Structure 1
Amino acid sequence: LYTDNFFNPFVMARFGGALDPLLAGINGLSAATGGLIAPAAEAAPAGTGFDHIAKQQHKSYALFGQFDYKLTDELTLTAGIRYTDEKKDLSTVFSENLAGGTTYPTDFSSVGDPAAPTPGSLIYGAGYAGAILQGIGAGQIDPFSATAAAALLPFQTPGWAFKALGATTSDRPDIIESLKDDQITGTIKLSYQPDRDTLWYVSYGEGYKSGGTNTDRIAAGFNPLFDAETSQAFEIGLKKDFPDQNLRINAATHYTTVNDFQANTFTGNGFNLQNAGDYGIKGLELEATWLATDSLEVNLAYAMVKAEYKTFERGNCWVAYTWHTGVDDPGRQNPTDRFCDRSGDRPGGEPENYLVLSLKQDIDLADNIYAYVQGEYTYTSDIILDGSNDPYAVQDSYNLLNFRFFMNFTDMDMDLIFWARNALDEEYVNRTNFNTPLQDGKLNAYMAEPRTMGVTIKKRF
């Protein structure tokens, strides 16, 4: 609900330079006729509300089971199955309410391209009204004629600029839907343990996430309904202990495909939740723990992930990059499309490489004091921060270094911890940025915590 004066200066800043002569002409005509012809109305009256009320009734039933069966002393089969039945009754009612109670104007569907104005756009309507004013001024058109009234009326109606601003302020139909779905999913795993220090396994599993409706005011051209998401995952792994070396290693490689992936992108006006198409992810993971000495522990974790949209034909388009550079999104198939093909792009929030290395050294201070010092290094490769793959929405790789000096005083049942986070004082976006609402070209972001140091005291009673 927008109830302040934000839109008035915003609208006039965006359109005012081009529309000032038109509005002045309408006001001049109104004055010349003694008010018989109405003056220009407010483009975006304060107090206008853009409400939507979403309700959902969701019933879900599931029946599932799993068992382990030892084929031999070394070989174990694990299998499971699940049946899910879902029903959703969904209702979203949208309303646009001008403060004065007048009818919400829907004359202009978009801003429009000044170079090629199209009927129904604000640019087209302004050009037509301007031509009528010129005809009136030249004595060629009767200012009280039906032709003049039809051309000028939209600009004499309060709120005439609202719909052209975008999906947030545009009218849209209500959503009344009932969705039914059922799904059978399962998992199967084969484990091989030749000795107590070794475990090999291979597994296959299926996943399911039900569909629903997108209740935000998304742009025209996007389907407010989205289907269920399903997945198929394969994994091969090894868990191995090396007792003589005080070493443990866990390693796995995996491949997952997701059908009708439910992608959620903030577009500056709301969240656009939709089916992206097919999504593929493959990679490997490695974890190692090494007790190098009686007092020194080394831990390593590494993940390599290759992910991409196999098909995503109606994704969100670049906003900020196009606004600043004039370079349109190459995924846009037609100039008038509000959606772009994201097939082959990386999904947001998935770094290709992630590494954590930590060292923990126990320190012998006194019999009644347990102490250690720990250092942790983290490397994160570059990350796409949003679902449109806007070139300006990319976080470069960064390194983090954390330290901790821990002391436990046994006699007092108290901990004293000196710590430092982000000791290198890296500046980076904490995996979240978004287009500023109704202000194309601007991006908002949540910056990560800078270098922070402190002392923590814990006392147990």
Structure 2
Amino acid sequence: MTFPKSAICLAITASIFNVTAFAEEQASNDTNNNDNVETITVTSDFRQQSLQKAPVSMSVLTEVEIKQRNARHLEELIAISPNVNFASGSQRARYYQIRGIGERSQFKEPINPSVGMIIDEVDFTGIGSVASLFDVKQAEVFRGPQGTRFGANAIAGMINITTNEPSEDFEGAIQLGVGNYNTYDLGVALSGPASDSVNYRLAVNQSNSDGYMENVHLQRDDTNNRDELTIRGKLTIEASNDLTIDIAGFYFDFDNGYDAYSLDNTRETYSDEPGFDQQETAAFSAKFTFQGFESATVLAIISSSDSDLAYGYDEDWAYGEYEWISNKPVYTPDPCITPTGCLANFDGYSSTDHYYRDKAVLTSELRAISKQGQEIFNGSTAWVAGAYFKQGDEDLLRQYTYADGDFTSTNERTSVAVYGQLDTQLSERWSLISGLRIENYSADYNNSDQFDDSIDDTMVGGKLVLSYQKNQDSLWYASINRGYKAGGHNTDGTLPENLRTFDPEYLLNYELGYKVSLLDNSVYVRSSVFYMDREDVQVSSSKTIEREDGSSEFISYLGNAATGTNYGIEVEAAFDLNDFVNVYGSFGLLETEFDDFINAEGESLDGREQAHAPNYQFNVGINILPTENWLINLSVDGKDSFYFSDSHDEQSESVALLNASIAYVQDNWQVKLWGRNLTDEKYANRGFYFGNDPRDSYTAKQYTQLSEPLVFGASLDYQF
């Protein structure tokens, strides 16, 4: 796909306007400016609409942001969206938190995520490690409960990723990248017509890196490596004048190492048995869009995914060859006279913890959307009605050094939902959206510890959104949304009976928003104020069991806190100063607290902030276009400190990260130099509190997983 020079200039200018996914619809009589402004469309709601006219707090992260940051994964881009955080405890971010709500990890317990993730109609909730960004069109981040549209997995929000569509004309792209830490990346995308009625798209990406840790015991710098293969294929089939079929297929093979924790809280580890974080997924989706009915468009959507996940780590983070014998005063053999020696004169245990999961998900949905001119109630109200089914099966094998044998479990979950939405035009400027979803969730769980349990919850969610379109450039809205999350099981046999199960969680979100564009669309502002009232909060906690040798075992579980509140502000804005300079930014303020919550240790957390909920987050930047071929970007991401967990008082440190890129663009190619965290700040995204160091007799203290250090590189993009 070759672009004329004028189109290149327009593309760069468009990137300036769209640094934080700015989208404006021009007034119908303002045709002179319409050609110079790109409209970003929200695609994952029931009806597509301009971002600037969508009455919801959300960010749309486009190809522009992906390329400016040289982001290969969603975790490297998500800081652009205010009040969105992520937790590792793994090689890649698997769980996200929106407005302070979201899971942080999973061990052997079955969980119900608070933030959903969908990629091209396939549900990847809870396995978001494969959120690679090559050939991605945009990622839509909905903040706040999406009970009507997405149901039980969206009590905090939803992330919807859309890849590029098949094109009618043949085109292709090649992307090459190199960086420090022995990083390289290769991507190829091809698209075009297969026949008069079928268009295709194929994208393949391989990304590798040694990672940011050095194992000084094994004398290796690749024990925390990344080896990630992504293959996507799409077909668009015009089966008839009335029927369009969109098919997407995926294959992910992420074969990553996991050696991220150091006894010294540095990037130097001592593990003799480094861990792994692997995922192999095959998935597909098919969407049938039928326009043959007079009153409505009918959509039938099916998707299926099958994932093999393997996750494990060296629990002691150290080395030594010994065997602990509880009734003897000495080790056999003595750990300090073996070929490898030991880390300390006292080194009381050595263990690994490995989890192997087979996860299969099947979804189907039937949806009817009224056509224009077929509104009800005297032509004032458009409507949507649908039914949804989801079957999820998950088998787990855990192999743990201190367990008497292998732990196995099966969890079969089924969700059935019906939903409806009415979009009513009350007057020329006032409109009302009312939505309702009723969902039944059932689960049958059993494990090798002879624990069997079944749950069955029926939950109701919905929304009321009143909006006022003052003119073509400004929108006010006020909304009430109700979200929900199903209950579940805690399966560890050492837990008391009252901690074995937990109930559904509910959330009411009250929100006031304002969106405006000014100065002939050279300025935009999107803002929202929200208050969230949480009931029966499902909160992650932990219990520590001390072993005979003085070390400790960490047990994670979920329980219902009494109540909680989350409230704050979100603002996104950009200003095109002139034809050559654009500034932009986003800012989120967040206050969270528990009410009447006693954790597993009997400690009151009443009034304490919730975990992974920083009080502020921001992103500010500038784009400079010195000539029509050069584009310079500088940006700063920042976030406040936050509690790592609800089970202890350890916190992260506040941080601000400097990023930059400079690109030279020609008709069909682009060369870019880029860097993230240019000042090499040391900061953590996950933290625990327990004793694990034999050199201080296992004194309890904070241990953290460090985030990305200074990374830099160069990339070449070629289009044909």
Deviations 1:367-406 (A, max 9, x none): xxx320000012211111122232xx21121111001101
CA distance in 2, matches of 1:406, 1:2: 40
Higher relative contact order, structure no. (Cα contacts within 8 Å, ≥ 6 residues apart): 2
After TM superposition, list the pairs within 5 Å mapping 1:336-415 onto structure 2: 338-364=601-627, 370-390=629-649, 393-410=650-667, 413-415=668-670
CA distance in 2, matches of 1:414, 1:265: 51
CA distance in 2, matches of 1:2, 1:427: 22
Letter in 2 for 1:416: V
Q: Is the 8 A contact 2:511 2:530 kept in 1?
A: yes
Deviation at 1:408, TM superposition (A): 2.2
* Cα 1:346–1:218 shift into 2, 3 Å: farther
Deviation at 1:53, TM superposition (A): 2.0
Deviations 1:73-113 (A, max 9, x none): 0100100001111222221232xxxxxxxxxxxxxxxxxxx
Deviations 1:321-343 (A, max 9, x none): xxxxxxxxxxxxxxxxx442222
Does the residue aligned with 2:554 lie in a helix, a strand or coil?
coil
Deviation at 1:2, TM superposition (A): 12
Deviation at 1:222, TM superposition (A): 5.8
Q: Is the 8 A contact 1:298 1:360 kept in 2?
A: yes
Most deviating of 435-444 and 394-403: 435-444
| Alignment counterpart, residue 716 of structure 2, candidates 438, 452, 457 | 457
Higher helix share: 1
Aligned to 1:427: 682
Does the residue aligned with 2:646 lie in a helix, a strand or coil?
coil
In structure 2, list runs of 5 or more residues that go unmatched.
1-311, 331-348, 352-400, 544-552
Deviations 1:2-60 (A, max 9, x none): 99999996867xx88xx849xxxxxxxxxxxxxxxxxxxxx999886343322222221
Q: Is the 8 A contact 1:231 1:256 kept in 2?
A: yes
After TM superposition, list the pairs within 5 Å mapping 1:323-338 onto structure 2: 338=601
CA distance in 2, matches of 1:4, 1:261: 30
Aligned to 1:112: none
After TM superposition, list the pairs within 5 Å mapping 1:149-168 onto structure 2: none
* Cα 1:215–1:181 shift into 2, 3 Å: same
Does the residue aligned with 1:276 lie in a helix, a strand or coil?
strand
Deviation at 1:459, TM superposition (A): 2.6
* Cα 1:233–1:372 shift into 2, 3 Å: same
After TM superposition, list the pairs within 5 Å mapping 1:284-299 onto structure 2: 284-299=569-584
* RMSD of aligned Cα (Å): 3.3
In structure 1, list runs of 5 or more residues that go unmatched.
22-42, 95-173, 317-337
Deviation at 1:215, TM superposition (A): 3.0
Deviations 1:214-271 (A, max 9, x none): 2345644761211111111000010011125821111110000111112224655232
Aligned to 2:465: 189
Does the residue aligned with 1:49 lie in a helix, a strand or coil?
coil
CA distance in 1, matches of 2:536, 2:590: 20
Aligned to 1:75: 430
Q: Is the 8 A contact 1:383 1:431 kept in 2?
A: no
- Say yes or no: does 1:241 pair with 2:535: no
After TM superposition, list the pairs within 5 Å mapping 1:186-265 onto structure 2: 186-216=462-492, 219-220=495-496, 223-243=499-519, 246-265=522-541
Aligned residues: 327
* Cα 1:437–1:188 shift into 2, 3 Å: farther
Q: Is the 8 A contact 1:218 1:269 kept in 2?
A: no
CA distance in 1, matches of 2:448, 2:467: 52
CA distance in 2, matches of 1:437, 1:210: 35
CA distance in 1, matches of 2:313, 2:481: 46
Q: Is the 8 A contact 1:240 1:250 kept in 2?
A: yes
Q: Is the 8 A contact 1:87 1:180 kept in 2?
A: yes
Q: Is the 8 A contact 2:542 2:647 kept in 1?
A: no
Does the residue aligned with 2:406 lie in a helix, a strand or coil?
strand
Q: Is the 8 A contact 1:2 1:50 kept in 2?
A: no
Q: Percent identity?
A: 23
* Cα 1:215–1:460 shift into 2, 3 Å: farther
Deviation at 1:65, TM superposition (A): 0.8
Q: Is the 8 A contact 1:239 1:251 kept in 2?
A: yes
Q: Is the 8 A contact 1:266 1:434 kept in 2?
A: no
Does the residue aligned with 1:277 lie in a helix, a strand or coil?
strand
CA distance in 2, matches of 1:200, 1:10: 67
CA distance in 1, matches of 2:618, 2:313: 45
Letter in 1 for 2:561: A
Deviation at 1:431, TM superposition (A): 3.8
Aligned to 2:589: 304
Larger radius of gyration: 1
CA distance in 1, matches of 2:402, 2:620: 55
Letter in 1 for 2:663: F
Q: Is the 8 A contact 1:361 1:374 kept in 2?
A: yes
- Say yes or no: does 1:52 pair with 2:311: no
Q: Is the 8 A contact 1:189 1:204 kept in 2?
A: yes
Aligned to 1:126: none
* Cα 1:221–1:443 shift into 2, 3 Å: farther
Deviations 1:183-242 (A, max 9, x none): 222110100012111110000010111111123456447612111111110000100111
Aligned to 1:272: 557
CA distance in 2, matches of 1:10, 1:442: 25
Deviation at 1:288, TM superposition (A): 1.0
Q: TM-score, normalised by structure 1?
A: 0.64
* Cα 1:300–1:48 shift into 2, 3 Å: closer
Deviation at 1:432, TM superposition (A): 4.4
* Cα 1:44–1:460 shift into 2, 3 Å: closer
Q: Is the 8 A contact 2:563 2:594 kept in 1?
A: yes
CA distance in 2, matches of 1:405, 1:7: 48
* Cα 1:48–1:196 shift into 2, 3 Å: closer
* Cα 1:4–1:50 shift into 2, 3 Å: farther
